[in-house]
Amino acid sequence: MRPWHLGNTTVRSPFRLRDGLVALSTSSLQGNLRGREQEIALRNLLGEHGIVKLGSDDTFSVGRKWRSALNKLGFLYPEVSSASGITQSELGPVDMVTPNGWRLIRADTVPAMQECFLRAIAACYIPSPLEKEYTFSIFSPLRHTLAIMLELERQTGESRLNFIEMALVVQLTSSENPIDTVVSGVLALRVNRLAAANKRQFDRQARETAAELHKYEVSTFNDYADTNLRYLKATGLVQSKGRGISLVPEKHLFVETLVQDTTIPYSVNDYFVTLCNGAALPTDHQDSALIVLNDLLQQLQRRGIPFCTEGKPTDTPADIAIIRFQIESLLSERNEEEYAMRQSMEWEEIAAYMELIINRRNKKTLANGEEIVVPLSEAPAYFEWILWRAFLAINGLNNKPYEARRFKIDQDFLPVGTAPGGGPDLIFEFSDFVIVVEVTLTGSSRQESVEGESVRRHVADLVLCYHEQSGKPVYGLFIANRIDSNTAETFRIGIWFTRSDDKMRLDIIPFTLAQFKELFEALFTMNRVDVRLIRELLDHCGALRPHHEAPAWKREIGRCISHQIATWSPE
């Protein structure tokens, strides 16, 4: 059987599609993406916005593949063939942004973005008029997979679906295969793999057998499974579980309701219209929306989270959605607070992620056999994310974990893009001081022009803010793999003038990530986890500023860090 996949194997990080769509929506290229020159122009547009790397692309495939991905998910109007029985004018102008595409562009929270992806993927059926013919009946891969996970939960008590099970079983089945038969295949593979002495060898041989049986390249099974899991997680209905996925507990009842919808598009026109507008969801209907709302209220009660519904109307699905979003936000905040409390026990993983960013590698296998990944295209976001996790692990924060970061995270607490402009990356408030963290992967002489002014401005804004609110001193901590001396000199001088020409002295200390990693690991290995030690170190490094120019100051900061660690003794 031919394996299927959701989304697009070229654009494996779904949220990047939104970035591309936002860039396209303000460009003259919208609606004009066909042909070699236009594909080159789209590729260049994506490159200028930092969405793709502008490396060699002799076939100009990047623009074509991005256009195809946006068409396939209904974010841009696809081109319909004359054989489809409908005209382009009936659907919409080819390659222009669709209603669901505009909904995604305007979404300013992760849950809002996830709902757009959910509506898109719930509207995708295989085979679709955009795909080559398959040898099986039309079905919804989203609902099919979710139904399998529900049945796994019924039989085993856990909805977990492992990567290899998606690769070699689920994506090779359709609605023609009874769910209990598919689950039997999943569990048989699970039992055989558990019994194998060498799991990697078992996986390799299983993929090779599948490749021979289904006449596909061995790599196809992993490529498709990786894409499928990523796009499933983009819906917000599933979360990571080891190398696989499981149902998000808060969305369980929603999933049960969604999979009960087994209808299929009754015409090509119906398919395309639903695809471009986004599929209807259970919560679009009054009765289902109330059922989901009551379930969420019970979850709040079980977790001891106060919430008052008095005076909140529930007359329409839109009214109910407002309350539902408020509740989901409260549950998400509680989940993040619990996640923050776990970080001190995960400091070794945090340090391993730092190592990946330092060495510009994307994968590492930990001592426990778990593999961690930093997608190369998302390294800037992961840089901010891992510093956030590091300070959560050190703890002592006065502000909430979701107040300390300015980037968005998904249901797995992974970053969805970098922090927006107009403010610092991270703000950590403690009982008697504040640390503002700014990070960059830029290490060339451009570092000063890109970061020098904005970092000083952000720190200065917070110095003024905290001076008025609490009088707490504010430290700037600038972290990069390499600190350019021009950047260091800007921070060493540390001067900022307000609009009224008042002169401010800023305390901004540049560390390399390797230096911070050394410091971070020492705090835990020596059992000296106390953020006051970091403040003490920042004070020492700041005191060196008047005595050295930038190159010497950088060297002295390194010596200061090493000396500080050497003076610590395990408690």
Burial class (CB in 10 A: 0-12, 13-18, 19+), 302: exposed
Rounded CA gap, 41 and 33, in Å? Answer: 8
The better pLDDT of the pair 158, 7 is held by 158
Mean pLDDT of all residues in 303-310: 95
Is the per-residue pLDDT at 134 higher than 60?
no
Rounded CA gap, 217 and 215, in Å? Answer: 7
Is the per-residue pLDDT at 313 higher than 80?
yes
- pLDDT at res. 328: 94
Cβ atoms of 289 and 282 within 8 Å: the answer is yes
Quote the mean pLDDT of the chain. Answer: 93
Highest mean pLDDT among 43-47, 154-158, 266-270: 154-158
The distance of Cα 87 from the centroid of its chain, to the nearest Å, equals 38
Rounded CA gap, 528 and 408, in Å? Answer: 31
27 closest CA partner among 12, 11, 48: 48
For residue 399, give the DSSP letter: S
Is the per-residue pLDDT at 257 higher than 90?
yes
Mean pLDDT of all residues in 524-529: 95
Model confidence at 82, pLDDT cuts 50, 70, 90, reads confident
Rounded CA gap, 195 and 290, in Å? Answer: 46
- pLDDT at res. 155: 97
Q: Which of 51-55, 249-253, 260-264, 402-406 has the lowest mean pLDDT?
A: 51-55
DSSP 460-528: HHHHHHHHHHT---EEEEEEESS--HHHHHHHHH-EEE-TT--EEE-EEEEEEHHHHHHHHHHHHHTT-
Mean pLDDT of all residues in 323-351: 96
**And the tokens for 136?**
């099986």
Burial class (CB in 10 A: 0-12, 13-18, 19+), 89: exposed
Rounded CA gap, 402 and 411, in Å? Answer: 13
For residue 420, give the DSSP letter: P
Cβ atoms of 23 and 49 within 8 Å: the answer is yes
Model confidence at 13, pLDDT cuts 50, 70, 90, reads confident
Residues 178-202 have pLDDT tens digits of: 999 999 999 999 999 999 999 999 9
**In percent, how much of the chain has pLDDT > 70?**
98
**And the tokens for 450?**
């890109």
- pLDDT at res. 136: 54
Rounded CA gap, 140 and 56, in Å? Answer: 37
Burial class (CB in 10 A: 0-12, 13-18, 19+), 516: buried
Is the per-residue pLDDT at 225 higher than 70?
yes
Model confidence at 504, pLDDT cuts 50, 70, 90, reads very high
Is the per-residue pLDDT at 135 higher than 70?
no
Side by side, which strands form the sheet with 426-429? 426-429, 434-440, 474-480, 507-512
9 closest CA partner among 72, 80, 58, 56: 72
Residues 376-433 have pLDDT tens digits of: 889 999 999 999 999 999 999 999 999 999 999 999 999 999 999 899 999 999 999 9
Model confidence at 128, pLDDT cuts 50, 70, 90, reads confident
Is the per-residue pLDDT at 132 higher than 70?
no
Is the per-residue pLDDT at 318 higher than 70?
yes
User: What residue spans of 278-424 are helical by DSSP H?
Assistant: 286-302, 317-342, 347-359, 379-394, 401-404
Residues 425-455 have pLDDT tens digits of: 999 999 999 999 999 999 888 999 999 999 9
Residues 545-555 have pLDDT tens digits of: 999 999 999 99
Q: How many CB atoms lie within 10 A of CB 8?
A: 19
118 closest CA partner among 4, 284, 243, 1: 284
- pLDDT at res. 445: 85
Longest distance between any two alpha carbons in the chain, whole Å: 78
- pLDDT at res. 180: 96
Token pair 């992993």 is at which residue?
A: 222
Rounded CA gap, 488 and 491, in Å? Answer: 5
The better pLDDT of the pair 231, 263 is held by 231
